[in-house]
Structure 1
Amino acid sequence: MMKIHLKTPLGIARIRGSEEGVSEIKILDETPQPTSEIPDYLLPVVEQLEAYFRGELKAFHLKLDLEGTEFQKKVWRALLEIPHGKTVSYLELSKQLGDIKAIRAVASANGKNPVWILVPCHRVIGSDGSLTGYAGGIPRKKWLLEHEGVLTQKSLF
């Protein structure tokens, strides 16, 4: 398992992975130096993230190596089905998974997503359209949704 750091518009991302796939992407609040030497098996992750942030990539094609419960993995698979530029509510996601009463469990699994951006947990919003519940903070969620064209940035003038 290798760990690298990548500079992104949202801050420094810690990326962990192996030849089995990506196991973690997390934007850090601290600022370690970006990694200069990237192992071959993590190069596609870096290339695709950079293309995403340039606005050139709408869907990732990477091997994932995620650890979690079966329920969490089921939620994360459902998140992968949310297209770029679209959102769903926690309630809609719970319905898609077959249990409207599981909304809190779905929200909890969403919050434990270990690979931000690749598994697009930022595309899940409140039923009223509010940008609730994002482990990376609401400003980052807002930035990602604006970047994907879901939200339009409002001008002050």
Structure 2
Amino acid sequence: MYYITTYLSPVGLMTLASDGEALVGLWIENQKYFASTAPVERLEKDDLPVFISVKKWLDRYFAGENPKISELPLAPIGGEFRQKVWEILCDIPYGETITYGEIAKKLAATMNKPGMSSQAVGGAIGHNPISVIIPCHRVLGAKGSLTGYAGGIDKKLWLLTHEGVAIEKLAVPAKVTAL
């Protein structure tokens, strides 16, 4: 059984999902791939301890603090490749960004491969089931392009600004994409 609750954030209504022990999903309303990894059978339960912890973590984050991801029990649902990509995302510090290409290089080194596709990395990032906490919003396209955020470029800009990233140096693409 999976459980859900909601959280009203500055970037919109969020839906949280749990297996009863860990957070398995956090999606911003109207996000691409919304709840695609969580089983269909879900029961609303606002008072689960994990939900209480996540909501407190989010309160601190949106208040301008930098709570540690490790404070939360996370169990995103996805294959081995996606898990490796999401682990790299968790290491991106607040207020910093990284490109899809840089993640591809890190992943290739970790997997002892000569190279890795930035597009494959982008696909894994686009399917991140725990938005904001697993910080996929900190990933940019080549040359600082703001592309590929499933929650919407406006939300990505808000989150980056909230974290102190100098967004005036970033390039907003003419055609907005979400992987």
What's the secondary structure of 2:133's corresponding residue? coil
Change (3 A) 1:113 1:83: same
TM-score for both structures, normalised by structure 1: 0.88
Q: Detail structure 1 runs of 4+ shifted over 6 Å in the superposition.
A: none
Change (3 A) 1:127 1:153: closer
> Contact 2:57/2:67 (CA < 8 Å) preserved in 1?
no
In 2: Cα distance, 1:8 partner to 1:36 partner: 19
Structure 1 residue identity aligned to 2:137: H
Match of 1:102? 117
In 2: Cα distance, 1:79 partner to 1:113 partner: 10
**Cα shift readout 1:35-70 (whole Å, capped 9, x = no counterpart):** 894322311100001110010234232011111110
In 1: Cα distance, 2:157 partner to 2:49 partner: 32
Return the match for 1:79 from 81, 89, 109.
Answer: 89
Aligned pairs (5 A) from 1:15-94: 15-29=16-30, 37-60=46-69, 61-94=71-104
In 1: Cα distance, 2:30 partner to 2:87 partner: 27
Percent identity reads 39
TM-score for both structures, normalised by structure 2: 0.78
Superposed CA RMSD: 2.1
Unpaired stretches in structure 2, ≥5 consecutive residues: 32-43, 109-113, 170-179
Unpaired stretches in structure 1, ≥5 consecutive residues: none
Match of 1:145? 160
